[in-house]
Structure 1
Amino acid sequence: MNPEGRAAFAALYRLSWPVVMSRLGFMLMGLMDTLVVGHYSAAELGYHSLAWAPTSVFLVTSIGLLVGVQVKTAHFVGADEPHRIGGAFQRGMVYAIILGLLSMVLLIVAGPALLTATIQPAIAKGAAGPLIIFALSMPFYMLAVAGSEFLEGLGRTRPGMVFTWAGNVLNVALLLVLVPGIVTIPGIDSDGAMGAAISTLIARIAITVGILIYVFTLKQVKTFNLLGRHAPDPQGAREQRQIGYAAGSSYFIEVAAFAALTLFAGRISEEAVAVWAIILNFASIVFMVPMGLAIGCSVLVGRAYGAEDPAGVARMGRVSFLSAAGFMTVVVLTVLVGSSWLAAGYTSDAALIAGVQAALLLSCLFFIPDGVQVVAAQALRARHDVLIAPVLHYISYGLFMLPLGYLFALHWGQGVPGLIYACAVASWISATLLVARFFWLDKKATHISTKAIEAPNK
């Protein structure tokens, strides 16, 4: 490998590993909820997963809608325009507050009705309470995301990791006393899935407070003018919104499709919901590594794009794709060897273990393309190719995965394996098309650069 390639890998890993740990920290809350609630009661695990499914649509979509603050901050750093950074931050925080309040109201008003209309009434009743508690945490979560993405755009990826893991320590402590009912909250049902939701709410509040305190005590607060007024920047604001809309659309399409598959599982049985919940939880955890690589890729591609360096853009994209594929290959090998141990770690219910193990093995069909596609989509956004990724995600997850999931799982009666087959088809389509688009843009940029160099000599 040449020195530039080694430097690219080093820069990617230096930026990405704290982001990976931070994203894993966010997902660890879901994992610990699943583990503690799953060992407490399979029925309560089903309630928790169904309450989590509608909120996950907003959680993941918000990361996309707010990613504009990270990408534009990286652009302004690369273009040496620090006076525009404060404006990007302030816009991101305003968007976070609006998104948090809107998502909270929508989940509280429409969430329980959605559950009642789509799944068995008894299961819907058990999931409604945790859903409302999760909804109350949304404004805090959105502010934490905006603050973390701003810091990531600056290349400060470690603070988000520290605060997220501190929040996880608090979450675990609360889970261990609330879920089994060791400690109760007067006036409400606070054990099982409700206890897990309350723990998550408190932990998210703590994480948000820590991140915001860190941001507002940065040495560059005055340099970036984070707290002052800014001259109108219509171009920067428009680009920030465009990036957010495109990323949010992609994330929404993907996570909404997966949430819909959870509803399909709810129409099969409580056991199917529990197995599918465990598969989604495991997939989400390992997915956080490619997600972290995608953030590092976005920062580095964004800087190269801001500095008008097409060779740097191409190099960072390829390094990131290889890194994501390599990690997910390790995940596949780990599952093939240790699926029985993983299944036993998730649940002590003997009736579930066999189903979980089989589903984990089948899930190896989509792990690698799922990791590559998230990095490729983020790389496209960082080079300001904002429209194609959501279109390709809609095709892959909306036009292919949802209909195939219904056909395989419900119409043809294959159950959870049918849901996994649908995921695999969609992930391979998405990864192939997104990577092909990135390579095509590289070729186009090289052609334009060559013509620009040759023009003065004519």
Structure 2
Amino acid sequence: MKPSPLQETKALLVIALPLIFAYLADVMMVITAKMVVGRLGAVELAAAGIATDLSYQMCIVLMGFFSVVGVLVSEAMGALRRGQALPELVRGLILSGLLGLAATLVVLNLGPVLRLAGQDAEVVRISGPYYTAFAFAMLPIIWFGVLRSFAAAMMRTGFVMAITVLTVILNYLLMQGLVHGSFGLPRLGIAGAGIAWAVSMWFKCLSLAAYTFWLVRREKLPLNKGSIGGPRAYGPLVRLGLPVAGIVALESGLFAATALLSGVMGAVELAAYQMVMGWIAIPFVISLGISEAAMVRVAFFVGADDAAAARQAGNLGMVVGVAIPLLLVLIPVFAPGFVARTFLEPSDPNYAEIAALVAVLLVIAAIFQVFDGLQVIASHALRGLRDAVVPLAIAGVGYWIVGLGGGYLLGFRMGWGAPGLWWGLAIGLAFTATLLAWRFELLARRWVNVSSPSDRSSR
């Protein structure tokens, strides 16, 4: 039976709100880690920053791949096939474990990658002890993503929020202790930061694993002999996960390329880019939490064969996911100095120039963040319908040809500078969001029409 719009909105928020706070806590973890390492010096901060960015990008792509575990579990629960839910999780953990070990080996050998990327020799040297320790955080980060997706499908995300907040505190204490020798811990410098990440991520992963074990026993989800199956049983996970990972890689690559182009323009433009990105990370993670909720709700109704409810869940997710970030537009638009002062001291000699550019970019970012939220929710809602190949093509054109291509044309060829680069991003995201939202409505409405009683009686 299709829930009312109010009931569905409540269900979305029950899943989304803990995820939103968990994602915000993750952002705070990265910020506090940079603050602690930054006290060692600019070179150490650069070394830890570039190693973390490259390593985390691999995690983000792999977590995108395995987010579809939530789709498969939720679909099974909606179809009342409870016996399929736990095998889907186990297959996700097995495959993510193998890929996580491969990612760990890559990070352990990050030095040659940094040298090939043309990084400063001193940065490469100093980063060695850091990424050697950070490599052992890769597997728990990826496993945590799989378990989080399962918790979302089961509408049990409160523990995810609680353990993430607790991990932020633990990570800060370990960082402060192992990097600077506080709290009686050995002073290990930049290597201590990598160790702190590894210990914190294993704590977070094992805590959620214990909770998942309890949840599985509480819900009495079966795992029968042979239910995991052979290689063919991984087919649905791989077929849906690969294009999703492609979409995530395209999006993360877009922002990496934009950062590089901002750096080509100059230090002022790069600093302004970092400040604006630091701000819009907040509305983005709000939309991300809502997108995961919309994804599992759509998948649940797909399993229940309720086309009208699936369409409602996706559309409500898009409405809610755009409405909440819209409220945050008021702060940077009407108080642009707030963002600049948050990241840079007014006494800095470049403050006035950077703050003026930030004020201009924040107006563009107000448009940018609305469409950025819409596209991520629409993309996740389509995953709930098991539609990822066409969205991958739309993202490729929208992100790279329209977005980055348009930004390069406006910023460099037409001389608009950093605002031109950001206008290109905004146009590209608007293009992508519109097409993805339209495709979800098209597919969902077509399914509703096919499922209608009048249509079935006429066939």
Q: Which TM-score tier does this pair reach, normalised by the shorter chain? A: 0.7 to 0.9
Summarize the alignment of residues 54-453 of structure 1 with structure 2, pairs less than 5 Å apart. 54-109=54-109, 111-119=110-118, 121=120, 124-125=123-124, 128-129=127-128, 130-177=130-177, 189-190=189-190, 196-218=193-215, 220=217, 223-226=220-223, 229-230=226-227, 232=229, 237-267=234-264, 272-348=269-345, 350-351=348-349, 353-354=351-352, 355=354, 357-358=358-359, 359-407=361-409, 416-450=418-452, 453=454
Deviation string 1:42-70 (CA, Å, 9 cap, x unpaired) is: 66554444333322321221221101211
The answer to whether the Cα contact below 8 Å between 1:408 and 1:418 also exists between their aligned partners in 2 is yes
The answer to whether the Cα contact below 8 Å between 1:46 and 1:270 also exists between their aligned partners in 2 is no
Q: Amino acid of the residue matched to residue 454 of structure 2? A: I
Q: Amino acid of the residue matched to residue 112 of structure 1? A: G
Q: Amino acid of the residue matched to residue 327 of structure 1? A: I
Q: Give the SS at the match of 1:90.
A: helix
- The gaps in structure 2 that reach 5 residues or longer are none
Deviation string 1:284-327 (CA, Å, 9 cap, x unpaired) is: 33211111101111111111111111110111111111111111
The answer to whether the Cα contact below 8 Å between 2:279 and 2:339 also exists between their aligned partners in 1 is no
- The gaps in structure 1 that reach 5 residues or longer are none
- The alignment covers a number of residue pairs equal to 452
Distance 2:150 2:261 in 1: 37
Q: Give the SS at the match of 1:224.
A: coil
The answer to whether the Cα contact below 8 Å between 1:317 and 1:379 also exists between their aligned partners in 2 is yes
Q: Give the SS at the match of 2:55.
A: helix
Q: Amino acid of the residue matched to residue 163 of structure 1? A: I
Q: Give the SS at the match of 1:302.
A: helix
Distance 1:281 1:256 in 2: 17
Q: Give the SS at the match of 2:214.
A: coil
Q: Amino acid of the residue matched to residue 205 of structure 1? A: W
Deviation string 1:100-150 (CA, Å, 9 cap, x unpaired) is: 1122222332x4334334455267537744444443311110111111111
Deviation string 1:178-219 (CA, Å, 9 cap, x unpaired) is: 5667589879542xxx65544333321210111112122335
Distance 2:9 2:212 in 1: 28
The answer to whether the Cα contact below 8 Å between 1:405 and 1:422 also exists between their aligned partners in 2 is yes
C-alpha change, 1:351 and 1:33, in structure 2 (3 Å) is farther
The answer to whether the Cα contact below 8 Å between 1:253 and 1:394 also exists between their aligned partners in 2 is yes
C-alpha change, 1:231 and 1:259, in structure 2 (3 Å) is closer
C-alpha change, 1:88 and 1:23, in structure 2 (3 Å) is same
Deviation at 1:230, TM superposition (A): 1.8
Distance 1:122 1:184 in 2: 33
- Aligned-residue sequence identity (percent) comes to 23
C-alpha change, 1:187 and 1:155, in structure 2 (3 Å) is closer
For the aligned residues, what is the CA RMSD? 3.2
C-alpha change, 1:23 and 1:10, in structure 2 (3 Å) is same
C-alpha change, 1:205 and 1:234, in structure 2 (3 Å) is closer
Distance 1:233 1:344 in 2: 56
TM-score of the aligned structures, taking structure 1 as reference length: 0.87
Q: Amino acid of the residue matched to residue 437 of structure 2? A: V
Q: Which moved more, 1:25-34 or 1:318-327?
A: 25-34
Q: Give the SS at the match of 2:335.
A: helix
Q: Give the SS at the match of 2:220.
A: helix
If asked which structure has higher relative contact order (CA below 8 Å, sep 6+), I would say 1
C-alpha change, 1:140 and 1:454, in structure 2 (3 Å) is closer
